[in-house]
Amino acid sequence: MNLEHLTREDTAVLTSAQLLEIQTFITEHLKDVLEDLRRIVQCETPSQDKALLDAGLTEIRALTIERLGEPSHEARTEGGEYGDALELLWPGAPAAADDAAAAVTSEAPVTSVCHYDTVWPAGTLSVWPMSIDGDRLTGPGVLDMKFGIVQTIWAVLALRSAGITHAPVRLLLTGDEEIGSVAGRPVIEAATKDSRVTLVPEPSAGGQPKDRRKGMVFADITVHGVEAHAGLEPENGASAVHALAVLVPEIVALAAPERGTTVNVGTLQGGTGRNVVAGRAECLVDVRVTETAEQDRVADALRALTLPEPYRSDERLRLELQVDANRPPMNPTPASEAAMARLAQLAAGLGRELSPRMVGGASDANFISALGLPVLDGLGAVGEGPHAWHEHLLISGVAPQTALLAGMLAE
Protein backbone atom coordinates (compact mmCIF):
# COMPACT_ATOMS: atom_id res chain seq x y z
CA MET A 1 0.00 0.00 0.00
CA ASN A 2 1.24 3.47 -0.89
CA LEU A 3 1.30 5.57 2.28
CA GLU A 4 3.19 8.45 0.69
CA HIS A 5 0.41 10.96 1.19
CA LEU A 6 0.42 10.19 4.93
CA THR A 7 4.14 9.95 5.56
CA ARG A 8 6.10 12.20 3.24
CA GLU A 9 7.81 15.07 5.03
CA ASP A 10 6.48 17.79 2.74
CA THR A 11 2.84 16.86 3.34
CA ALA A 12 1.15 19.96 4.69
CA VAL A 13 -0.17 19.84 8.22
CA LEU A 14 -2.28 22.73 9.41
CA THR A 15 -0.50 25.29 11.54
CA SER A 16 -1.55 26.02 15.09
CA ALA A 17 -3.03 29.31 13.88
CA GLN A 18 -5.16 27.53 11.29
CA LEU A 19 -6.34 24.90 13.73
CA LEU A 20 -7.25 27.55 16.28
CA GLU A 21 -9.10 29.47 13.57
CA ILE A 22 -11.18 26.37 12.88
CA GLN A 23 -11.80 25.82 16.58
CA THR A 24 -12.86 29.45 16.97
CA PHE A 25 -15.21 29.15 14.00
CA ILE A 26 -16.95 26.18 15.62
CA THR A 27 -17.16 27.97 18.96
CA GLU A 28 -18.72 31.01 17.30
CA HIS A 29 -21.27 28.79 15.56
CA LEU A 30 -21.85 26.47 18.51
CA LYS A 31 -25.55 27.31 18.72
CA ASP A 32 -26.03 26.26 15.08
CA VAL A 33 -23.98 23.09 15.57
CA LEU A 34 -26.11 22.01 18.51
CA GLU A 35 -29.32 22.91 16.71
CA ASP A 36 -28.25 20.67 13.81
CA LEU A 37 -27.64 17.91 16.32
CA ARG A 38 -31.08 18.44 17.83
CA ARG A 39 -32.63 18.21 14.38
CA ILE A 40 -31.31 14.72 13.70
CA VAL A 41 -31.70 13.48 17.28
CA GLN A 42 -35.39 14.32 17.02
CA CYS A 43 -35.58 11.76 14.21
CA GLU A 44 -35.61 8.50 16.13
CA THR A 45 -33.66 5.81 14.30
CA PRO A 46 -33.79 2.49 16.17
CA SER A 47 -31.75 -0.15 14.36
CA GLN A 48 -34.68 -2.50 13.75
CA ASP A 49 -37.35 0.00 12.64
CA LYS A 50 -36.99 0.32 8.87
CA ALA A 51 -39.61 3.05 8.49
CA LEU A 52 -37.99 5.29 11.09
CA LEU A 53 -34.53 4.59 9.67
CA ASP A 54 -35.68 5.67 6.21
CA ALA A 55 -37.25 8.84 7.57
CA GLY A 56 -34.17 9.64 9.62
CA LEU A 57 -31.80 9.16 6.69
CA THR A 58 -33.96 11.44 4.55
CA GLU A 59 -33.72 14.17 7.17
CA ILE A 60 -29.96 13.71 7.64
CA ARG A 61 -29.45 13.93 3.88
CA ALA A 62 -31.52 17.12 3.72
CA LEU A 63 -29.53 18.73 6.54
CA THR A 64 -26.20 17.74 5.02
CA ILE A 65 -27.03 19.15 1.60
CA GLU A 66 -28.45 22.35 3.11
CA ARG A 67 -25.10 22.91 4.82
CA LEU A 68 -22.63 21.62 2.23
CA GLY A 69 -24.49 21.96 -1.06
CA GLU A 70 -25.29 19.32 -3.64
CA PRO A 71 -22.69 16.51 -3.70
CA SER A 72 -20.81 15.70 -6.88
CA HIS A 73 -21.69 12.04 -6.35
CA GLU A 74 -24.48 10.34 -4.45
CA ALA A 75 -25.34 6.67 -4.08
CA ARG A 76 -27.91 4.98 -1.87
CA THR A 77 -27.66 1.26 -1.23
CA GLU A 78 -30.81 -0.56 -0.17
CA GLY A 79 -30.40 -2.39 3.12
CA GLY A 80 -33.40 -4.68 2.79
CA GLU A 81 -34.73 -5.18 6.31
CA TYR A 82 -31.81 -3.11 7.61
CA GLY A 83 -31.13 0.60 7.28
CA ASP A 84 -29.96 1.84 3.88
CA ALA A 85 -26.45 3.18 3.31
CA LEU A 86 -25.94 6.61 1.75
CA GLU A 87 -22.70 7.82 0.16
CA LEU A 88 -22.22 11.55 -0.47
CA LEU A 89 -19.06 12.99 -2.07
CA TRP A 90 -17.88 16.58 -2.41
CA PRO A 91 -14.79 17.65 -4.38
CA GLY A 92 -11.68 19.00 -2.77
CA ALA A 93 -11.62 22.73 -2.12
CA PRO A 94 -10.84 25.37 -2.98
CA ALA A 95 -11.20 24.37 -6.64
CA ALA A 96 -12.44 26.19 -9.68
CA ALA A 97 -15.88 25.10 -10.81
CA ASP A 98 -14.55 23.69 -14.09
CA ASP A 99 -12.00 21.64 -12.16
CA ALA A 100 -14.50 20.11 -9.76
CA ALA A 101 -15.06 16.92 -11.74
CA ALA A 102 -11.33 16.41 -12.17
CA ALA A 103 -10.79 16.92 -8.45
CA VAL A 104 -13.23 14.14 -7.66
CA THR A 105 -11.80 11.64 -10.12
CA SER A 106 -8.10 12.34 -9.71
CA GLU A 107 -7.78 12.71 -5.95
CA ALA A 108 -8.33 10.07 -3.29
CA PRO A 109 -11.00 11.22 -0.85
CA VAL A 110 -11.01 11.23 2.90
CA THR A 111 -14.00 9.20 4.07
CA SER A 112 -15.99 9.79 7.23
CA VAL A 113 -18.01 6.72 8.21
CA CYS A 114 -20.97 7.40 10.50
CA HIS A 115 -23.86 5.20 11.54
CA TYR A 116 -27.21 6.87 12.04
CA ASP A 117 -28.97 3.98 13.77
CA THR A 118 -29.17 3.91 17.57
CA VAL A 119 -29.99 1.35 20.24
CA TRP A 120 -32.89 3.45 21.51
CA PRO A 121 -36.44 2.21 20.72
CA ALA A 122 -39.17 4.35 19.23
CA GLY A 123 -40.81 6.56 21.84
CA THR A 124 -37.64 7.19 23.86
CA LEU A 125 -37.75 10.90 23.00
CA SER A 126 -41.14 11.25 24.67
CA VAL A 127 -39.52 10.52 28.04
CA TRP A 128 -35.98 11.69 27.30
CA PRO A 129 -35.75 14.62 24.90
CA MET A 130 -32.39 16.15 24.08
CA SER A 131 -31.52 18.70 26.74
CA ILE A 132 -28.62 20.77 28.02
CA ASP A 133 -27.53 21.13 31.63
CA GLY A 134 -24.40 23.24 31.91
CA ASP A 135 -21.69 21.49 29.88
CA ARG A 136 -23.68 18.28 29.52
CA LEU A 137 -25.86 17.63 26.50
CA THR A 138 -27.98 14.52 26.89
CA GLY A 139 -30.33 12.58 24.66
CA PRO A 140 -30.71 9.24 22.90
CA GLY A 141 -27.89 8.76 20.41
CA VAL A 142 -26.21 12.15 20.91
CA LEU A 143 -22.90 10.49 21.76
CA ASP A 144 -23.22 7.26 19.79
CA MET A 145 -23.03 8.61 17.22
CA LYS A 146 -25.23 11.35 15.81
CA PHE A 147 -22.78 14.02 16.85
CA GLY A 148 -20.23 12.41 14.51
CA ILE A 149 -22.47 13.23 11.54
CA VAL A 150 -22.85 16.88 12.55
CA GLN A 151 -19.15 17.04 13.42
CA THR A 152 -18.21 15.97 9.88
CA ILE A 153 -20.50 18.56 8.31
CA TRP A 154 -19.12 21.40 10.40
CA ALA A 155 -15.50 20.33 9.94
CA VAL A 156 -15.97 20.85 6.19
CA LEU A 157 -17.76 24.17 6.75
CA ALA A 158 -14.90 25.37 8.97
CA LEU A 159 -12.29 24.54 6.33
CA ARG A 160 -14.31 26.33 3.67
CA SER A 161 -14.74 29.37 5.88
CA ALA A 162 -10.98 29.55 6.50
CA GLY A 163 -10.19 28.99 2.80
CA ILE A 164 -8.09 25.94 3.65
CA THR A 165 -7.46 23.40 0.92
CA HIS A 166 -8.89 19.99 1.72
CA ALA A 167 -9.20 16.62 0.06
CA PRO A 168 -12.43 15.42 -1.52
CA VAL A 169 -14.75 14.44 1.31
CA ARG A 170 -16.94 11.36 1.31
CA LEU A 171 -19.59 11.01 4.00
CA LEU A 172 -20.80 7.43 4.31
CA LEU A 173 -23.91 6.90 6.41
CA THR A 174 -24.95 3.39 7.47
CA GLY A 175 -28.03 2.21 9.31
CA ASP A 176 -27.24 -1.08 11.04
CA GLU A 177 -23.96 -0.67 12.94
CA GLU A 178 -25.55 -1.35 16.30
CA ILE A 179 -26.78 -4.78 15.18
CA GLY A 180 -23.69 -6.02 13.36
CA SER A 181 -23.50 -4.04 10.07
CA VAL A 182 -24.94 -6.92 8.07
CA ALA A 183 -25.98 -4.60 5.23
CA GLY A 184 -23.43 -1.89 5.95
CA ARG A 185 -20.23 -3.94 5.94
CA PRO A 186 -19.91 -4.60 2.17
CA VAL A 187 -20.70 -0.96 1.42
CA ILE A 188 -18.09 0.25 3.90
CA GLU A 189 -15.42 -2.10 2.61
CA ALA A 190 -16.06 -1.13 -1.02
CA ALA A 191 -16.27 2.61 -0.36
CA THR A 192 -13.12 2.93 1.73
CA LYS A 193 -10.71 1.04 -0.54
CA ASP A 194 -9.84 4.22 -2.48
CA SER A 195 -9.66 6.51 0.57
CA ARG A 196 -6.42 8.15 1.60
CA VAL A 197 -7.68 7.69 5.14
CA THR A 198 -11.01 6.80 6.74
CA LEU A 199 -12.21 8.69 9.79
CA VAL A 200 -14.73 7.16 12.18
CA PRO A 201 -16.09 9.82 14.56
CA GLU A 202 -17.41 7.33 17.08
CA PRO A 203 -17.28 8.61 20.68
CA SER A 204 -13.74 9.33 21.84
CA ALA A 205 -12.16 7.82 24.93
CA GLY A 206 -12.11 10.97 27.03
CA GLY A 207 -10.94 12.99 24.05
CA GLN A 208 -8.47 10.32 22.91
CA PRO A 209 -8.71 8.23 19.73
CA LYS A 210 -9.09 4.46 19.81
CA ASP A 211 -6.37 2.45 18.10
CA ARG A 212 -7.37 -1.02 19.33
CA ARG A 213 -10.80 -2.57 19.48
CA LYS A 214 -11.77 -6.11 20.30
CA GLY A 215 -13.30 -8.36 17.67
CA MET A 216 -16.60 -10.09 18.31
CA VAL A 217 -18.27 -13.44 17.97
CA PHE A 218 -22.03 -13.73 18.41
CA ALA A 219 -23.74 -17.06 19.07
CA ASP A 220 -27.45 -17.83 19.31
CA ILE A 221 -27.79 -21.26 20.92
CA THR A 222 -31.16 -23.02 21.05
CA VAL A 223 -32.17 -26.39 22.45
CA HIS A 224 -35.42 -27.95 21.27
CA GLY A 225 -37.06 -30.48 23.54
CA VAL A 226 -40.46 -31.96 24.29
CA GLU A 227 -43.03 -30.47 26.66
CA ALA A 228 -44.88 -32.52 29.27
CA HIS A 229 -46.69 -32.04 32.56
CA ALA A 230 -44.00 -31.85 35.26
CA GLY A 231 -46.17 -33.63 37.83
CA LEU A 232 -48.33 -36.08 35.92
CA GLU A 233 -45.93 -37.40 33.26
CA PRO A 234 -42.45 -35.88 33.49
CA GLU A 235 -40.97 -38.97 31.86
CA ASN A 236 -42.76 -38.03 28.62
CA GLY A 237 -40.87 -34.75 28.41
CA ALA A 238 -37.33 -33.82 27.44
CA SER A 239 -36.25 -30.62 29.11
CA ALA A 240 -34.49 -28.10 26.87
CA VAL A 241 -33.80 -25.92 29.92
CA HIS A 242 -31.98 -28.70 31.77
CA ALA A 243 -29.85 -29.51 28.73
CA LEU A 244 -28.90 -25.91 28.05
CA ALA A 245 -28.13 -25.25 31.70
CA VAL A 246 -25.50 -28.01 31.61
CA LEU A 247 -24.09 -26.68 28.33
CA VAL A 248 -23.61 -23.08 29.55
CA PRO A 249 -20.52 -23.79 31.70
CA GLU A 250 -18.87 -25.39 28.67
CA ILE A 251 -19.54 -22.21 26.69
CA VAL A 252 -18.19 -19.96 29.43
CA ALA A 253 -15.05 -22.11 29.69
CA LEU A 254 -14.03 -20.96 26.21
CA ALA A 255 -12.90 -17.67 27.73
CA ALA A 256 -9.16 -16.98 27.94
CA PRO A 257 -8.72 -13.75 29.93
CA GLU A 258 -4.93 -14.04 29.74
CA ARG A 259 -5.28 -13.64 25.95
CA GLY A 260 -7.94 -10.94 26.17
CA THR A 261 -10.79 -13.31 25.31
CA THR A 262 -14.01 -12.89 27.27
CA VAL A 263 -17.26 -14.84 27.02
CA ASN A 264 -20.61 -13.59 28.27
CA VAL A 265 -23.92 -15.44 28.21
CA GLY A 266 -26.07 -12.35 28.11
CA THR A 267 -29.54 -13.88 28.14
CA LEU A 268 -30.85 -17.35 29.00
CA GLN A 269 -34.53 -18.12 28.74
CA GLY A 270 -36.82 -21.03 28.12
CA GLY A 271 -39.87 -22.97 29.15
CA THR A 272 -43.46 -21.83 29.56
CA GLY A 273 -44.25 -22.49 33.18
CA ARG A 274 -43.10 -23.88 36.52
CA ASN A 275 -45.03 -27.09 36.06
CA VAL A 276 -44.11 -27.71 32.42
CA VAL A 277 -41.08 -29.66 31.18
CA ALA A 278 -39.47 -27.06 28.91
CA GLY A 279 -39.80 -27.68 25.20
CA ARG A 280 -37.42 -24.88 24.21
CA ALA A 281 -34.53 -22.90 25.71
CA GLU A 282 -32.10 -20.43 24.21
CA CYS A 283 -29.18 -18.24 25.17
CA LEU A 284 -27.36 -15.38 23.48
CA VAL A 285 -23.58 -15.36 23.73
CA ASP A 286 -21.19 -12.43 23.27
CA VAL A 287 -17.45 -13.10 22.83
CA ARG A 288 -14.74 -10.42 22.64
CA VAL A 289 -11.22 -11.13 21.36
CA THR A 290 -8.03 -9.18 20.74
CA GLU A 291 -6.51 -11.50 18.14
CA THR A 292 -7.84 -13.10 14.96
CA ALA A 293 -6.54 -16.52 16.02
CA GLU A 294 -8.67 -16.34 19.16
CA GLN A 295 -11.71 -15.33 17.16
CA ASP A 296 -11.23 -18.40 14.94
CA ARG A 297 -10.66 -20.68 17.94
CA VAL A 298 -13.79 -19.64 19.78
CA ALA A 299 -16.00 -19.53 16.69
CA ASP A 300 -14.89 -23.03 15.69
CA ALA A 301 -15.47 -24.33 19.22
CA LEU A 302 -18.97 -22.83 19.34
CA ARG A 303 -19.86 -24.35 15.98
CA ALA A 304 -18.64 -27.75 17.24
CA LEU A 305 -20.76 -27.74 20.41
CA THR A 306 -22.84 -30.82 21.15
CA LEU A 307 -25.17 -31.56 24.02
CA PRO A 308 -23.44 -33.23 26.99
CA GLU A 309 -24.51 -36.65 28.16
CA PRO A 310 -27.05 -37.87 29.05
CA TYR A 311 -28.90 -35.31 26.92
CA ARG A 312 -26.91 -36.09 23.78
CA SER A 313 -28.33 -39.63 23.75
CA ASP A 314 -31.92 -38.41 24.00
CA GLU A 315 -33.19 -38.22 20.42
CA ARG A 316 -35.99 -35.91 21.51
CA LEU A 317 -33.49 -33.12 22.15
CA ARG A 318 -31.95 -31.12 19.32
CA LEU A 319 -29.26 -28.42 19.45
CA GLU A 320 -29.41 -25.49 17.02
CA LEU A 321 -26.39 -23.18 16.60
CA GLN A 322 -26.02 -19.83 14.86
CA VAL A 323 -22.46 -18.48 15.13
CA ASP A 324 -21.32 -15.21 13.58
CA ALA A 325 -17.70 -14.01 13.77
CA ASN A 326 -19.14 -10.54 13.41
CA ARG A 327 -16.21 -8.14 13.53
CA PRO A 328 -12.49 -8.87 13.32
CA PRO A 329 -10.30 -7.32 16.03
CA MET A 330 -8.77 -3.94 15.25
CA ASN A 331 -5.07 -3.60 16.00
CA PRO A 332 -2.55 -1.03 14.72
CA THR A 333 -1.38 -1.55 11.14
CA PRO A 334 1.37 0.37 9.28
CA ALA A 335 -1.30 2.30 7.40
CA SER A 336 -3.19 3.33 10.54
CA GLU A 337 0.00 4.08 12.48
CA ALA A 338 1.00 6.54 9.73
CA ALA A 339 -2.41 8.20 9.98
CA MET A 340 -2.15 8.31 13.77
CA ALA A 341 1.23 10.02 13.53
CA ARG A 342 -0.35 12.72 11.39
CA LEU A 343 -3.19 13.07 13.88
CA ALA A 344 -0.66 13.48 16.69
CA GLN A 345 0.96 16.37 14.79
CA LEU A 346 -2.40 18.07 14.50
CA ALA A 347 -3.20 17.50 18.18
CA ALA A 348 0.15 19.07 19.11
CA GLY A 349 -0.87 22.13 17.12
CA LEU A 350 -3.87 22.43 19.43
CA GLY A 351 -1.71 21.97 22.50
CA ARG A 352 -2.90 18.41 23.04
CA GLU A 353 -1.02 15.16 23.50
CA LEU A 354 -2.48 12.00 22.04
CA SER A 355 -2.61 8.77 24.00
CA PRO A 356 -4.63 6.27 21.91
CA ARG A 357 -6.72 3.80 23.85
CA MET A 358 -7.83 0.19 23.56
CA VAL A 359 -11.52 -0.51 24.15
CA GLY A 360 -13.59 -3.65 24.33
CA GLY A 361 -16.36 -2.37 22.09
CA ALA A 362 -16.22 -2.78 18.31
CA SER A 363 -17.13 -0.43 15.49
CA ASP A 364 -17.15 -0.28 11.70
CA ALA A 365 -13.47 0.70 11.91
CA ASN A 366 -12.75 -2.99 12.63
CA PHE A 367 -13.74 -3.91 9.09
CA ILE A 368 -11.55 -1.23 7.52
CA SER A 369 -8.53 -2.07 9.66
CA ALA A 370 -8.83 -5.76 8.77
CA LEU A 371 -8.31 -4.80 5.11
CA GLY A 372 -5.02 -3.10 6.03
CA LEU A 373 -6.44 0.32 5.13
CA PRO A 374 -5.62 3.50 7.09
CA VAL A 375 -8.36 4.26 9.60
CA LEU A 376 -8.68 6.48 12.65
CA ASP A 377 -11.41 5.72 15.16
CA GLY A 378 -12.81 7.46 18.22
CA LEU A 379 -12.55 10.98 16.78
CA GLY A 380 -16.01 11.98 17.92
CA ALA A 381 -17.57 13.52 20.98
CA VAL A 382 -16.17 13.63 24.49
CA GLY A 383 -18.71 12.13 26.86
CA GLU A 384 -19.95 9.04 28.63
CA GLY A 385 -22.77 6.52 28.69
CA PRO A 386 -23.26 5.15 25.17
CA HIS A 387 -26.27 2.79 25.20
CA ALA A 388 -27.15 3.98 28.71
CA TRP A 389 -29.68 6.39 30.19
CA HIS A 390 -26.87 8.73 31.23
CA GLU A 391 -25.59 9.05 27.65
CA HIS A 392 -24.21 12.55 27.19
CA LEU A 393 -21.54 14.61 25.51
CA LEU A 394 -19.58 17.56 26.84
CA ILE A 395 -20.24 20.75 24.91
CA SER A 396 -16.74 21.96 25.78
CA GLY A 397 -15.36 19.16 23.64
CA VAL A 398 -17.31 20.00 20.49
CA ALA A 399 -14.96 22.62 19.04
CA PRO A 400 -11.64 20.88 19.87
CA GLN A 401 -12.79 17.53 18.48
CA THR A 402 -14.20 19.11 15.33
CA ALA A 403 -10.96 21.02 14.74
CA LEU A 404 -8.98 17.78 15.00
CA LEU A 405 -11.29 16.06 12.50
CA ALA A 406 -11.03 19.03 10.15
CA GLY A 407 -7.26 18.80 10.29
CA MET A 408 -7.39 15.26 8.92
CA LEU A 409 -9.61 16.43 6.04
CA ALA A 410 -7.10 19.13 5.10
CA GLU A 411 -4.24 18.45 2.73
As annotated, the active-site residues are: 117, 177
The CA-atom distances, in angstroms, between 114 and each of 124, 147, 235, 324 are: 21, 9, 55, 23
* 354 neighbors 209 (Cβ within 8 angstroms): yes
> How many angstroms separate the CA atoms of 146 and 124, rounded?
15
> How many angstroms separate the CA atoms of 34 and 142, rounded?
10
Q: Which DSSP letter does residue 116 get?
A: -
381-411 in b/e form (b: 16+ CB < 10 A) is bbbeebeeeebbbbbebbbbbbbbbbbbbbb
> How many angstroms separate the CA atoms of 259 and 236, rounded?
45
Residues whose CB is less than 8 angstroms from the CB of residue 115 and which lie 6 or more positions away in sequence, other chains included: 145, 173, 174, 175, 176, 177, 178, 181, 184, 364
> How many angstroms separate the CA atoms of 354 and 342, rounded?
11
What is the distance in angstroms between the CA of the first residue and the CA of the last residue of the chain? 19
- Is the C-alpha dihedral spanning 360, 363, 83, 183 positive or negative? negative
Residues whose CB is less than 8 angstroms from the CB of residue 10 and which lie 6 or more positions away in sequence, other chains included: none
Give me the DSSP letters along 285-314: EEEEESSHHHHHHHHHHHHT--PPTTGGG-
Q: Say what angle helices 16-28 and 398-409 make with each other, to 10 degrees.
A: 130
Helix (H) or strand (E) holding 187: helix 184-192
